[in-house]
Amino acid sequence: MKKLVVASLFAAGALASQAAFAVGTVDITWQGTDTSGIKLSTLDTTVSSSVPLTSNYATTALNYVYTATGESFTAYCIQPSEGNGRALRNQTYAVESFTGEQAQHLQALFSTSYAGLTTHDDKAAFQLAVWELMLETGNTFSVSGGSFKVLGSDATSLAVSTQANSFLSQALAYEGPALYSLTKLTHGSLQDLVVATPLAAVPEPESYAMLLAGLGIVGLVARRRLPR
């Protein structure tokens, strides 16, 4: 598989963004799908060569809240072979991290496409791209073929698949900095999840130079105003 070049996370920003996941487990409550979703069927040949992994599944983002605080957040499924469980019921998830190529691939996908997701199609395509990165065993990332792929040739399936492949292409070409801290939430009998937290922006060197220049001007003005 093609390796991605993604800049290392800034330690301070990563620690700050992961404050909500400072413990080994977290209690969360599923609120339902983020939108009505786009119903798509997919196949994972590592599970079955003929039985769809998802069939008429409302593919989209998932809405959750932290049970203790009521704070809402959005997650994407990384284990579609499992169910979501019942909505509005508290569940305890283990807090883990992604490693290796999966971590690089997901980070590039989120950094290039996550912020622009607005429509049902956008979120369905992004979910497909996440599944492709997590489940594909071949050398090419595409939801149109390989060990994980979309079934169906209707207009909606084709449009969302095309968009998912576009997200994947952008991720594979990405060489910029990591823009999110990604947390893996796992459950023994429910879908595992990926949760993204934006990293605090780190000023560019030019910004530091402008800040220092500004402080210098302020200091000069203050000195001129001192009584002599």
Over residues 184-204, the pLDDT tens digits come to 999 999 999 999 999 986 555
Q: How many domains does the chain have?
A: 1
- What is the domain range of residue 73? 11-201
For 28-54, what is the mean pLDDT? 93
Structural domain includes residue 215: no
Structural domain includes residue 220: no
Q: 191: Cβ–Cβ under 8 A, 6 or more apart, which residues?
A: 77, 78, 79, 80, 82, 83, 84
- What one-letter code names the amino acid at 179? L
Residue 147 predicted with pLDDT over 60: yes
Closest residue by Cα to residue 134 from 64, 192, 194, 78: 78
Structural domain includes residue 52: yes
Q: Backbone dihedral region of 152: left (phi > 0), alpha (psi from -120 to 50 degrees) or beta?
A: left
Rounded CA-CA distance 37/32 in Å is 11
Structural domain includes residue 91: yes
Structural domain includes residue 38: yes
Structural domain includes residue 5: no
Q: Out of 4-13, 73-82, 178-187, which region has the weakest mean confidence (pLDDT)?
A: 4-13
Structural domain includes residue 209: no
Percentage of the residues of the chain whose pLDDT score is greater than 70: 78
What is the per-residue pLDDT across 105-145, written as a single tens digit (0 to 9) for each?
Answer: 999 999 999 999 999 999 999 999 999 999 999 999 999 99
What pTM does this model have?
0.80
3-state secondary structure of 91: strand
Structural domain includes residue 89: yes
